[in-house]
Chains A and B, each alone.
Chain A
């Protein structure tokens, strides 16, 4: 049974970098296409926003409005993938989710989410 678990700092100061790690259990992160690994966020009381996705090969796709600040990478040795969001502001406060997706099938499995607050 695939499980994903987000881990992060909980609180990040404005202008700093938000780092989130997604740990995968029950499956290998090296699973080949059509699977990919993704990050999604949800500001308090608002809708879902896709941040980006990464294939085990390292190939990435990012949200158009965030791509200048985002990096998602895979660490196959730890069966993890990670999100880095630079130069954060209060508007980056959200619950951040990790997920596994498949081409044309959507985001199949989700982690429980982790709240990250941007505040001084």
Chain B
């Protein structure tokens, strides 16, 4: 199975800040990586797929980058709605695997 390692596990930030979260795969997954946002008590929402493609309706302040084993999710200017937990997930092959999550607070 492909292991996904996210860092940091939590990050403190303020409205207007720029935040970057990293995700590392245990082997080459090309660009087959997705990012999700999960507000407290709600279901996850797909933000980015194929490492850098923005899902329909997702604000442009979210961006993804990377290929191979190293990936990043950047929020350029934090808004109040962005305080949530973020997960990466490899979509390269089954079994699908998630990172442990990054709580933005």
Q: Which of B36, B42, B98, B101 has the most CB of A within 10 A?
A: B98
**Would you call B94 and A53 a contact (CB within 8 A)?**
yes
**Would you call A104 and B32 a contact (CB within 8 A)?**
yes
**Would you call B46 and A113 a contact (CB within 8 A)?**
no
Tell me the dominant secondary structure on chain A's binding face: strand
Nearest CB on B from A86, distance (A): 18
Interface: B97 (CB within 8 A): yes
**Would you call A105 and B95 a contact (CB within 8 A)?**
no
Bound state CA distance, A64 and B36, in angstroms? 22
Bound state CA distance, A48 and B82, in angstroms? 19
**Would you call A61 and B94 a contact (CB within 8 A)?**
yes
Nearest CB on A from B21, distance (A): 14
**Would you call A113 and B94 a contact (CB within 8 A)?**
no
Number of interface residues of A (CB under 8 A): 23
B87 neighbours in A (Cβ, 8 Å):
47-48
**Would you call B91 and A48 a contact (CB within 8 A)?**
no
Chain A residues 69-120 with CB under 8 Å of chain B are: 97, 101, 103-113
**Would you call A50 and B98 a contact (CB within 8 A)?**
yes
B49 neighbours in A (Cβ, 8 Å):
104-106, 108
A107 CB contact (under 8 Å) in B1, B32, B44: B44
A106 CB contact (under 8 Å) in B1, B43, B91: B91
Interface: A16 (CB within 8 A): no
Assuming the contacts A48-B101, A64-B1, A113-B43, asked whether A106 and B34 have C-beta atoms less than 8 A apart, the reply is: yes
Residue pairs across A and B with Cβ atoms less than 8 A apart, 14 shown, are: A47-B99, A48-B36, A48-B87, A50-B95, A50-B96, A61-B95, A104-B91, A104-B92, A105-B91, A106-B34, A107-B36, A107-B44, A107-B46, A113-B43
A-binding residues in B (CB < 8 A): 1, 32, 34, 36, 38, 42-46, 49-50, 55, 87, 89, 91-92, 94-101
New A-B contacts (4) at CB < 8 Å, excluding given A48-B38, A106-B36, A108-B46:
A47-B98, A48-B36, A103-B91, A105-B91
